[in-house]
Amino acid sequence: MATIKLAGENAIIIYFGEQAAPELADQIAFYTQQLLDSLGDVIIDVVPSYTSLMISYRLNLVSHYDFCDQVEQVLSNSTVAPSEANSNLIEIPVYYGLEVGLDLDGLLTDKGLSLEEFIAIHSSKTYLVYAIGFSPAFAFLGKVDDRISVSRLACPRIKIPAGSIGIADNQTAVYPITSSGGWNIIGRTPLDLSLNKPENIKRFSVGDRVRFMPISQEKYCSLGGIL
Amino acid sequence: MSFDVIKSGFFSLIEDYGRFGFARYGLSQSGVADEHAYCWANHLLDNHFNDAVLEITFGSCELKALDAMSIAVTGADLGFRVNGSPQPLWQVINVQTGDTLTWSTAKSGIRSYLAVKGGFQSEPLFNSKSVNVRENIGSQLKNGDLLSCQADTKNRAHRVVPSEFIPDYQQRLTLRVLPSYQFDLFEEPQKEHFLNQRYTVSSASDRTGCRLDGRAMTDVQARMISEGICYGSVEITTEGLPIILLKDSPTMGGYPKIATVFSLDLAKLAQRQSGCEVTFESIDIETAQQKRHEFNAFFAINIR
């Protein structure tokens, strides 16, 4: 069962398992919500991740040991089986074109795949949001099919355009804003996921499902995509 | 009521107590680097604990007051002057319309805090006025900016911070730490190494993290599955040296963490120049919480 460790003077971290797995991600998303519902008055922030959940709380209102007790209570009283059915499905249109998929050409050669095969593999899967971090609204999605899994670039790019879709090992992600990074870029979404629209901050939550919908170059441009 | 920014300085930021409730979406806590100096500056003016101030790092900053008002400047000694004449820190002072406020270079400490009545009136983003350059939320001060504040009609009493609360930023620093996160996974000799080592503050430190130089710990475990980071977490990098994660740190990280520094000691660390000697000693959770509780009660802080 879960192990609670001290993280800071007003923070704890709960470990739910040792290896990232879809069932564990669902469980963590479920308990995150349970804890927010039950202890929302004393919780300041939560950071769910692959195998853990960090929580900071108001030490003005509750001591470390009392808070640990309350958390244990909530965890042991929550019996509803977590399931995929509770999670949101987010659809992201992607143009998988060589002019925006900066590493696509090399990747197809390395993997011995046609562009059509590659698109089918990447877009046929429903991905799970395992964690959010690195930068605001950057969602780590898994797991990528082994046939298109590829390690990070030896040297990170200085500038990856906003909306780029990347692969690193068995994870995939969208870069919400233009930033540096070492992921292999395979396409781009015309959606504006940046914080210029403040509501974008909540677009992804841990436990959500994401699907990439392949679109043509014309569609990409008509949706505001830039080549 | 406002100031014209004549010279922005090396790195000057509008900051408040911080950004809370968005860590699950990847937003850092942000907020002032030195909570001690910040809280006293607001306290001197009877401000709310979350009122925004200007955090001036290393100096080279020049502001022109467009109205008469009371201000308080606390924190580092960056050679603060009004119209060329040196001014006392850690107390309320009155400036007149047209006065020129300057911060030259760091004499002691790193960060100076300028507070005005009611705080600076910038637009909050995600419930906070704190600028975070790494996250591209707001931007650092630029020449020609206008810093606006509320009208301050009352004549403020001359108030001074009691001398026992004014820190000496030149002293070597002992950081009190709570054993946390992967503490139990470190070997006894590694823990002893950490607690007995004399480190120095590296020049590669910023609002994201304070890097320490010193003799490296050996055989540190490799990177692990990324997890939530809290303010003050001490990562031990693969090279064996500590990085203390601060207000602008990302919300997740994958290095093992041996301990977490007590927040009020992080305020002191925020003022230590590179090369300053730093050691660690243990504190227990009851003591840490009690000391922080007293601080929160005195300054009427209700977030932490």
Amino acid, res. A57:
Y
On whether residue A146 sits in a domain, the answer given is yes
**Which residue in chain B is spatially nearest to A29 when comparing CA positions?**
B24
Q: Are strands A209-214 and A89-94 parallel, antiparallel or unpaired?
A: parallel
| Residue B170's pLDDT band (cuts 50, 70, 90) | very high
Q: In what side-by-side order are the strands of the sheet with B100-103?
A: B85-86, B81-82, B100-103, B61-65, B2-8, B146-148
Which residues on neighbouring strands pair with residue B227, listed in sequence order?
A: B253
- Residue at which a domain ends, from A84, A108, A132: A84
Burial of B99-136, coded b for 16+ CB within 10 Å and e otherwise, reads: bebbbeebeebbbbbbbbbbbbbbeebbebbbbbbbbb
State the burial class of residue B144 (Cβ atoms within 10 Å of its Cβ: 0-12, 13-18, 19+).
Answer: exposed
On whether residue A47 sits in a domain, the answer given is yes
Q: Torsions phi, psi of A145, nearest 5?
A: -55, 135
A186 and A75, same structural domain? no
A199 and A160, same structural domain? yes
pLDDT in tens, A161-216: 999 999 999 999 999 998 888 999 999 999 999 999 999 999 999 999 999 999 99
Q: Do B260 and A7 touch (CB under 8 A)?
A: yes
Reported as type and span, the H/E element at residue A69 is: helix A64-77
Burial of B210-237, coded b for 16+ CB within 10 Å and e otherwise, reads: bbbbbeebeebeeebbbbbbbbbbbbbe
A106 and A209, same structural domain? yes
| Residue B1's pLDDT band (cuts 50, 70, 90) | confident
Set of chain B residues whose Cβ sits within 8 Å of the Cβ of A64: 285-286, 289
Of B23, B125, B302, the CB nearest to A60: B302
Q: Do B24 and A7 touch (CB under 8 A)?
A: no
Tell me how far apart the alpha carbons of residues B79 and B148 are, in angstroms, rounded to a whole number. Answer: 24
Structure tokens at B100: 């020129």
For A:139-178, CB contacts with B below 8 A are 177
User: Average pLDDT, stretch A94-101?
Assistant: 97
**3-class secondary structure, B104:** coil
Q: Do A201 and B22 touch (CB under 8 A)?
A: yes
Set of chain A residues whose Cβ sits within 8 Å of the Cβ of B244: none
Burial of B157-181, coded b for 16+ CB within 10 Å and e otherwise, reads: eeeebeeeeebebeeebebbbbbbb
A94 and A175, same structural domain? yes
**3-class secondary structure, B174:** strand
Q: What is the pLDDT of residue B90?
A: 98
A30 and A110, same structural domain? no
User: What angle do helix axes B285-298 and A64-77 make, rounded to 10 degrees?
Assistant: 100
Of A7, A201, A206, the CB nearest to B181: A7
A107 and A77, same structural domain? no
Give residue A22's domain range. Answer: 3-84
On whether residue A13 sits in a domain, the answer given is yes
On whether residue A181 sits in a domain, the answer given is yes
pLDDT in tens, B133-155: 999 999 999 999 999 998 776 66
Tell me how far apart the alpha carbons of residues B143 and B6 are, in angstroms, rounded to a whole number. Answer: 6
Of B225, B230, B303, the CB nearest to A20: B225
On whether residue A115 sits in a domain, the answer given is yes
Reported as type and span, the H/E element at residue B36 is: helix B35-44
Q: Do A59 and B227 touch (CB under 8 A)?
A: no
Q: Do A53 and B228 touch (CB under 8 A)?
A: yes
On whether residue A16 sits in a domain, the answer given is yes
**3-class secondary structure, A81:** coil
Tell me how far apart the alpha carbons of residues A122 and A110 are, in angstroms, rounded to a whole number. Answer: 16
Q: CATH classification of B173-298 is 2.40.100.10, yes or no? A: yes
Domain with residue A14: its CATH number is: 3.30.1360.40
What does the mean pLDDT of chain A come to? 94
On whether residue A169 sits in a domain, the answer given is yes
Please report the number of interchain residue pairs, chain A to chain B, with beta-carbon separation below 8 angstroms.
Answer: 145
Q: Cα(first)–Cα(last) distance of chain B, in Å? A: 31
Domain with residue A125: its CATH number is: 2.40.100.10
- DSSP state letters, A134-190: SSTT-EEEEPPPGGG-BPPPSS-EEEE-TTEEEEEBTEEEE-SSSEEE-SEEEEE--
| Residue B30's pLDDT band (cuts 50, 70, 90) | very high
Contact B250, B229 (CB under 8 A): yes
Q: Name the minimum distance, in Å, from the CA of A199 to any CA of chain B.
A: 10
A46 and A32, same structural domain? yes
- Residue at which a domain ends, from A50, A84, A118: A84
The residue whose two tokens read 């249109």 is A93
On whether residue A227 sits in a domain, the answer given is no
A107 and A216, same structural domain? yes
**Which residue in chain A is spatially nearest to B285 when comparing CA positions?**
A9
Tally of domains within chain A: 2
A144 and A213, same structural domain? yes
Of A9, A46, A54, the CB nearest to B227: A54
Instruction: With CA atoms as reference, report the closest residue to A96 among A83, A107, A81.
Output: A107
Proportion of chain A above pLDDT 70, given as a percent? 97
pLDDT in tens, A11-54: 999 999 999 999 999 999 999 999 999 999 999 999 999 999 99
Q: Do A47 and B135 touch (CB under 8 A)?
A: no
Q: For chain B, what are the domain ranges?
A: 2-165, 173-298
